Structure 1
Amino acid sequence: MPDNNFNYDDEEQEKGAPKWMVTYSDMVTLLLVFFVLLFSISSVDAQKFRSLAESMRGDNIHEGYESIIENQYQPASNPEIAEAADGEEDSEEKNEEEYEESNEDNSEEEPSLDELLKKINKYIEENGLEEVISAARDKRGVLVILQGNILFDTASAEIIDEAFPVLEEVASLLNEVSNPVEVQGHTDDRPINTYRFPSNWELSGARASRIVRELIEESVDSSRLLSVGYGEKEPIASNATKEGRQKNRRVTIVIIDTSAENESEDQ
């Protein structure tokens, strides 16, 4: 009599590999694929690195551009770029030569201070200004002394109209040389005490500064100019007389002799 309790599912389960083996096989296969992928990637990166290194050593990338290393230049393979670079170098050399030549010409054309003094005295003589302007030479350089009465009204630092043509000529002469210029303001010893000028220091300083401003307006380079107020401390005549006080009220323009300064520094 047949056994009615026979289980066909049990018989089917006994055939083939266990189920866990399938999972294990899949895992091993995935691991194998993963390691193969890693190996292939690492091989490609190394090859790319070698290719990049070779291209960097060659002239393919930096043709026609300056090297980051000082004093090293990669020549341009493009003849047009090379031609342009040569043209720029020639142009720069030409500009430098022209600049040096112009400086030499200017230095040759610039008169000496002695020649400038002669020009100033000639201007004074031709215009009959001997009574109000004088020029001399000393160890500091050339001194141009302008009496205060041809420049300013009493107790004022505003230039009078008659002084502008004189200052225009002075500026023109100053522009013939490149020496530094010191503008000195001086007064007599009579005290002053006004709202604008509490003392002769302020008055002399304001007058010197006003002359400097006018010279700048007449195109004298401001970097060459210096203004100083001495008040009544450096008289050139006695303040006991009217004539002496008039001489002391003055503006002195000192064109400084830089060669003399250089010689004293060397000693």
Structure 2
Amino acid sequence: MATRRLIPAPKDEDEDNPDAWLLTYSDAVTLLMAFFIMLVSFSKIDIPIYEQVKAGILDQLGKQGDKAKEQSPIALMKVDLEDVVFALQADQAVAIGTDSRGVVMELDSSAFFRPGAADIREVAIPILFNMAKTLMAPRYEPFVIEVEGHTDDDPISTARFPSNWELSAGRASAVVRLFMTQGLAGDKMKAVGYGETRPKLPNRTAEGAPIPENQAINRRVVVRISPMSLDERDAYFERRSREEIAAGNFAKGRTPPSETQAPPPAR
């Protein structure tokens, strides 16, 4: 009687390789990483909200200990500027808040400037002086400052200000110049004039009649303070380093190499 020979079934290769699941896992992780990179590339980060969420998470996890109660630089800046405003009783003329970029200060033009002029009122100068001193704190150095001038839609035509564009730009420039006199670096500030093109409220009714209350709100100077990007921060501190080196050489009576080199021989 012939004996029946049993042929074993072929083994699955995965049975001999217990780590085969890692291949599928790595593919899934790679796909997730690509997905989140795509989300970040299309997203707009709201810096104040991001810092609030970050502080809240760290507080709940208890990873910062006593430091968990510390506020973010933007939150600290907002509080410091509010203290200045309230100490000088200027809260009726200055509104301080935050947006997706950082801190926003709105200055009532009628409180800071005379009608049709870009010269800062004497009574408003101490407010801006103290704001500048606050922004001079080392923790606020890597921040950029953008000053915007806005007007209502009433036209102006003077020798100094042919239109609302020049008036709004002149008021923004006046604030920047005053900040610079207090030591804020000019290369991290800019002045922008928008004229009447960006009103907060309608200047007129549907029939074209002016709305004085809205026009008064639209006449404003907006100071936006936001963190520098990584590239801006690197460029800023590189300029500061070069300036310090140049100042040190000047103090020691040295002349920069470019000025001591002899001119090339004539050919």
Shorter-chain TM range is 0.5 to 0.7
Alignment partner for residue 242 of structure 1, among 204, 212, 215? 212
Q: How does 1:116-265 map to 2 (within 5 A)?
A: 116-176=77-137, 177-178=140-141, 179-240=143-204, 241-258=211-228
Whole-Å separation in 1 of the counterparts to 2:108 and 2:152: 12
Shift of 1:151: 1.3
Percent pairwise identity = 34
Q: Deviations over 1:48-68 (max 9, x none)?
A: xxxxxxxxxxxxxxxxxxxxx
On the 8 A contact 2:85/2:127 being kept in 1, the answer is no
Instruction: Decide whether the 8 Å contact of 1:183 with 1:253 is kept in 2.
Output: yes
Match of 1:114 in 2: 75
Looking at structure 2, the residues matched to 189 and 168 of structure 1 have their Cα atoms a distance apart, in angstroms, of: 30
- Aligned equivalents of 1:185, 1:245: Cα separation in 2: 14
2:230 and 2:127 mapped to 1: Cα distance?
28
Q: TM-score, normalised by structure 2?
A: 0.54
Structure 1 gap ranges (5+): 1-108, 263-267
Q: Cα offset for 1:196?
A: 1.0
- 2:85 and 2:201 mapped to 1: Cα distance? 22
Distance 2:148 2:83 in 1: 23
Give a deviation string over 1:113-135, Cα, whole Å, max 9, x none: 11110122233233332221001
Shift of 1:219: 1.0
Two-structure CA RMSD over aligned residues (Å)? 2.3
For each residue in 1:186-219, what CA deviation from the matched residue of structure 2 results, as whole angstroms up to 9, or x when unmatched?
1011111111111100110111111111110111
Residue aligned with 2:82, SS? helix
Contact 1:147 1:247 in 2 (8 A): yes
In structure 2, how many angstroms separate the alpha carbons of the residues matched to 1:111 and 1:226? Answer: 24
SS at the partner of 2:132?
Answer: helix
Deviation string, structure 1 residues 19-62 (Cα, Å, up to 9, x no partner): xxxxxxxxxxxxxxxxxxxxxxxxxxxxxxxxxxxxxxxxxxxx
Does structure 1 conserve the Cα–Cα contact (< 8 Å) formed by 2:88 and 2:127? no
How many residues of Structure 1 are paired with residues of Structure 2 in the alignment? 154
1:141 aligned partner, one-letter code: G
Render the CA deviation track for 1:224-249: whole Å, top value 9, x for unaligned.
Answer: 11010000111112323222111111
Q: How does 1:64-75 map to 2 (within 5 A)?
A: none
Measure, in 2, the Cα distance between the counterparts of 1:216 and 1:227. Answer: 12
Deviation of residue 221 (structure 1)? 1.0
Distance 1:158 1:239 in 2: 24
Q: CA deviation at 1:153?
A: 0.4
Amino acid at match of 1:208: A
Question: Is this contact kept in 2: 1:140–1:260, CA < 8 A?
Answer: no
Q: In the alignment, residue 235 of structure 1 is paired with which amino acid?
A: P
1:111 Cα deviation from its structure 2 partner: 6.5
Q: Which amino acid is 2:162 matched to?
A: P
- Secondary structure at the aligned position of 2:194 is classed as strand
CA distance in 2, matches of 1:236, 1:112: 28
Q: Structure 1 258/249 Cα, relative in aligned 2: closer, same or farther at 3 Å?
A: same
